A and B are shown apart, each in its own frame.
Chain A
Amino acid sequence: GDSVTQMEGPVTLSEEAFLTINCTYTATGYPSLFWYVQYPGEGLQLLLKATKADDKGSNKGFEATYRKETTSFHLEKGSVQVSDSAVYFCALIPGNFNKFYFGSGTKLNVKP
């Protein structure tokens, strides 16, 4: 069945470091892929998305490219800030939009 696997955290980085959070997926057909972010004490917010192969989603300096050949959607940011500290969830929705599948979440801690 459809599923999402993302790297376990927590990930601890110093400010201005490069960030990669790996995400791979299993799906039939052509899913849409998402990264959601959850700041402490808050609900989930959409960070970025990609709806077809080779699309690159980007927002707030974060990027992720939909790689069908490697079934991946890794999240990257060139220079993280303390304010980026949050839990990041990779997610997919199959082409029939019947259900959302979330990864387990990766907590990011950015130290000054």
Chain B
Amino acid sequence: GAVVSQHPSRVICKSGTSVKIECRSLDFQATTMFWYRQFPKKSLMLMATSNEGSKATYEQGVEKDKFLINHASLTLSTLTVTSAHPEDSSFYICSARVTGTNTGELFFGEGSRLTVL
């Protein structure tokens, strides 16, 4: 199946700094990528839909100025957590759908665990 890669897999940062997480589709083009946040013992929460060449669509309650999403090419989307705080510590997962398919299947990255001290 299609491969989605995230980097870094783990990151620790100080409170107040910004962290960038990359999501790449390695062997396919993805017009749309999705960013999820997973809380401990809970399901995935869709944060935003990243669209290549246009602004991301954020879910209700997600601060777009805090979670900056850029989808500059058909194979790369980035999530930047700005001015991170300890409550932003979480597991962030990106996913992508193969452009042009109609199966609806999503392919997921390995996830990035962010710890804010």
Which A positions have Cβ atoms within 8 angstroms of B? Answer: 32, 34, 36, 42-46, 49, 51, 89, 93, 97, 99-100, 102-105, 107
Contact = CB atoms under 8 A, between A and B. Distances in A.
Contacts, number: 48
12 contacts: A36-B108, A42-B111, A43-B110, A44-B44, A44-B93, A44-B95, A46-B105, A46-B106, A51-B104, A93-B104, A99-B49, A104-B42
B105 A49 contact: yes
Given A43-B93, A46-B1, A105 B34 contact: no
Contacts of A102: 43-44
A43 B34 contact: no
Given A43-B93, A43-B110, A51 B103 contact: yes
Contacts of A97: 97, 102, 104
Contacts of A107: 41
B51 interface: no
B interface, over-half SS: loop
Contacts of A32: 103-105
A4 B99 CA distance: 25
Given A34-B105, A43-B108, A49-B105, A100 B46 contact: yes
B75 interface: no
Interface range for B: 20 to 34
A45 B104 contact: no
B113 to A, nearest CB: 9
Contacts of B104: 32, 51, 93, 97, 100
Interface in B82-106: 93, 95, 97, 102-106
B77 interface: no
Contact of B44 (A42, A46, A89): A89
B108 A104 contact: no
Contacts of B1: 46
